[in-house]
Structure 1
Amino acid sequence: MKNTAVTLALSGLLAFTAVGCAVTRDQSTVGEYVDDTTVTTRVKAKLAENPTVSAMSISVETLKGTVQLSGFAKSAAERNMAGDLARNTSGVKAVKNDIVIRP
């Protein structure tokens, strides 16, 4: 009886873990999801380290190695710098720079 309860508890935990790692938006593997999350984190870190870029105003999303930047920049130089930083990040295959320059 005790072993049955432990087995059921572990089964529930494994099922919960599998659901928590669900892959979304047409990604084919959990590995790709992890890779995309790593790339997003790297790009965000580069934006935060750069004094030219306001990292709080720029969103970063990655899907299959393609990074999409969105949000607002104070100037074209800030927008371009964010794109350059993303392009020069390990694991980035392409960058879609949708950052809008505030008037």
Structure 2
Amino acid sequence: MRFLKVIFISLFLTSCIGNITSTVFGVGVNINLDPRSPGLYLDDKLAETLIMKKIVQHDYKQIFLNVKVIDGTAILSGRVEKAEDKLKMTKFAWETAGIKAVRNDIVIADETSFKQRAKD
């Protein structure tokens, strides 16, 4: 009987590990579904944060960016006004520790209003 209790408790606790990690690592993060190790996942999240910090520290008026880092590869997407800004975003990503490659999918577009973007 004692053996069954141990098995039941161990099965019950292992089903909670995914919920515990999603609580520990932040809201909406379900690390048990990600194929990366927890250490690599956190390294990628740190690199994303550092890239966004570099971008925010500069004063850009019309910039809409998304930064994602997967296995050390920075994926930049969004829209900027000038080609120089696109190059700066790539430079910011390359200068970040832990980045092995950069994929720049940023497009150069004219200034648009909120009303024009809402029509998309």
Please indicate the TM-score interval, normalised by the length of the shorter structure.
Answer: 0.7 to 0.9
| Residue 56 (structure 1) shift | 5.3
Structure 1 residues 83 and 68, CA gap change in structure 2 (3 angstroms): same
Give the gaps of 5 or more residues in structure 1: 1-6
The residue aligned with 1:80 is: 87
- Give the share of equivalent positions with the same residue, in percent: 26
**1:39 is the counterpart of 2:42:** no
CA-CA distance at 1:90 after TM superposition: 1.3
Following TM superposition, by how much is the alpha carbon of 1:76 offset from its aligned partner in structure 2, in angstroms? 0.2
Structure 2, unmatched stretches of 5+, are 1-8, 23-29, 111-120
- Between stretches 61-70 and 84-93, larger displacement belongs to 84-93
The higher radius of gyration belongs to 2
- Pick one of 11, 14, 19 that aligns with 1:16: 19
Instruction: Between the two structures, name the one with larger relative contact order (CA 8 Å, sep ≥ 6).
Output: 1
Kindly provide the amino acid, as one letter, of the partner of residue 81 in structure 2.
Answer: K
Question: What CA distance in whole angstroms lies between the structure 1 residues aligned with 2:65 and 2:91?
Answer: 14
Matches within 5 A, 1:48-87: 48-51=56-59, 53=60, 57-87=64-94
Poorly superposed stretches of 4+, deviation over 3 Å:
11-15, 53-56
| Coordinate RMSD, CA, aligned | 2.7
Cα distance, 1:75 vs structure 2: 0.7
Q: Give the counterpart letter for 1:33 in structure 2.
A: Y
Q: Taking structure 1 as reference, are residues 22 and 97 closer, same or farther at Cα in structure 2, changes over 3 Å only?
A: same
Q: 1:93 and 1:54 mapped to 2: Cα distance?
A: 29
If the length of structure 1 is used for normalisation, what is the TM-score? 0.75
